[in-house]
Amino acid sequence: MDESEFPWVDVLKVRGLPNHVIWARFSDGCEGTLDLSDYVQSGGPMVAPLKDQAFFERVFVEEGVPVWPNHFDMDSTNLYIQMRSAGTLKDRPVAAE
């Protein structure tokens, strides 16, 4: 996908990893990680609970977006673009038929 293209993707799977890194697999088959530690440290009241690593790791997918138990969510397209910009978004290998 060209860097200028605006993807319409949903998150299919998500995991909270150590050091406030999020991993996600998207509906187009791409997957990647993004370090959210700076975001978590500078965030407001909805982001504050994510400072607790155990809480951060409780992320789940609801209606195609990453969501935490306090109902804080992240836009899937924005997450995809940030991963793409950071160079951490990779095509998922397709199994041979």
The answer to the question of residue 16 being in a domain is: yes
Q: Which domain holds residue 47?
A: 11-88
The answer to the question of residue 5 being in a domain is: no
In this prediction, residue 93 carries a pLDDT of: 61
Q: What CATH number has the domain bearing residue 39? A: 3.30.2020.10
Specify the higher pLDDT residue, 19 or 7: 19
pTM of the model: 0.87
The answer to the question of residue 1 being in a domain is: no
The answer to the question of residue 94 being in a domain is: no
In this prediction, residue 5 carries a pLDDT of: 72
Separation CA 86–CA 38 (nearest Å): 14
Indicate the number of domains in the chain.
Answer: 1
The answer to the question of residue 64 being in a domain is: yes
The first and second tokens of residue 75, run together, are 């836009």
Q: Give the CA dihedral 69, 72, 73, 78, nearest 10 degrees.
A: -150
Beta strands in the chain (DSSP E): 11-17, 21-26, 30-35, 60-62, 65-67, 89-91
The answer to the question of residue 38 being in a domain is: yes
> What confidence category does residue 7 fall into, taking pLDDT thresholds of 50, 70 and 90?
confident
| pLDDT tens-digit map of 59-88 | 999 999 999 999 999 999 999 999 999 999
